[in-house]
A = this chain, B = another copy of it.
Amino acid sequence: MGVSSRSAVAIHALTMLARWDDKSLTSAEIADSLASNPVLVRRILGSLRDAGLVWATEGRNGGWSLARPATQITLRDAYTAVEAGPVLSRHPHPPSDACEVGRNMQDLLDAEFRDAERALEERLSRTTIAHLVRQVLANERAAARRNH
């Protein structure tokens, strides 16, 4: 296991919004694609809205749209918007102060883990939603070509 699947849902939703960016999509439409529930989608899109990545119009014919071009939204943006805590958990309790190692490990480990998490986020920041849309369309074209 590990981090929640909210990032996956967020990236999925953003990719859909980018794929059909001429119209807005409802949480029900996105939930259908995810084989999930509209409320769950709204919760996650709510986090993305708070992060300034998407916006919603309420009422009938309402729905969700990207707040900026898909070329300017990275996977890291989605990840940090929906994921709270650190990836790598630290000590459950503070270690013993009486131990030479114990009284130093927490800070040392924190520095190492932060660097590692930074490396993960840095890699995520190298892929944009636009890139994923391009790959989806390319895959679809290839699949259509195979069906002749």
A86 touches B116 (CB 8 A): no
Expressed in whole angstroms, the Cα–Cα distance for A91 and B100 within the complex equals 43
Question: Distance (Å) between the CB of A61 and the closest chain B CB?
Answer: 21
Residues of B close to A117: CB separation below 8 A: 120
Closest to A9 in B: B91
Asked if A57 CB lies within 8 Å of chain B CBs, one says: no
Copies of this chain, how many?
Answer: 2
| Closest 3 A/B residue pairs (Cβ) | A33-B99, A5-B89, A119-B123
Which of A1, A2, A100, A118 gathers the greatest number of chain B CB atoms within 10 Å? A2
Expressed in whole angstroms, the Cα–Cα distance for A9 and B35 within the complex equals 38
Interface size on A, residues (CB 8 A): 59
Known: A11-B105, A19-B100. 5 other contacts (CB 8 A): A11-B109, A12-B91, A19-B101, A75-B116, A104-B139
B119 touches A122 (CB 8 A): yes
Asked if A52 CB lies within 8 Å of chain B CBs, one says: no
Expressed in whole angstroms, the Cα–Cα distance for A12 and B109 within the complex equals 9
A35 touches B96 (CB 8 A): yes
